[in-house]
């Protein structure tokens, strides 16, 4: 079973991902997000709390990951990111 980081990394390479809380929120609200990953080490937590609720409302798969650092690396950017939305899976497969 592929980890959330692996899924995000493959989608970033072969599909399309939105990075950052604002971009992810927009993707979820528009209904174009296919999968959302949010880091649990975000401080303050309020920055990302709304995403799990939005994803539930829109029936979008939602995963929490432990590290903003690793999430940033998995989407090929040199800085931590709090949230990622996959909008085109490319070759990635959701478990």
Is there a domain that residue 21 lies in? yes
Is there a domain that residue 93 lies in? no
pLDDT band at 94 (very low <50, low <70, confident <90, very high): confident
pLDDT band at 20 (very low <50, low <70, confident <90, very high): very high
Check which CATH number belongs to the domain holding 60 and give it.
Answer: 3.30.1330.30
Q: Identify the domain containing residue 16 by its residue range.
A: 4-88
Overall domain count for the chain: 1
- Angle separating helix axes 49-58 and 21-30, nearest 10 degrees: 20
CB-count burial class (<10 Å; 0-12, 13-18, 19+) for 56: exposed
Is there a domain that residue 49 lies in? yes
pLDDT digits (tens, 9 = 90+) for 28-76: 999 999 999 999 999 999 999 999 999 999 999 999 999 999 999 999 9
The H or E element that residue 10 is part of is helix 4-14
> What single string gives the DSSP state of each residue in 57-71?
HHT--EEEES-HHHH
Give the residue-averaged pLDDT of 70-87.
97
pLDDT of residue 1: 66
pTM of the model: 0.96
């Amino acid at each position: 079973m592929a980890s959330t980081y692996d899924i995000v990394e493959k989608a970033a390479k072969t599909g399309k991902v939105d990075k950052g809380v604002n971009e992810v929120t927009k993707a979820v609200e528009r209904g174009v997000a296919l999968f959302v990953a949010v880091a649990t080490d975000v401080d303050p937590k309020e920055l990302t709390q709304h995403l799990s609720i939005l994803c539930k409302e829109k029936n979008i798969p939602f995963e929490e990951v432990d590290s903003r650092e690793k999430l940033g690396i998995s989407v090929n950017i040199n800085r931590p990111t709090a949230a990622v939305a996959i909008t085109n899976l490319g070759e990635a497969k959701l478990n």
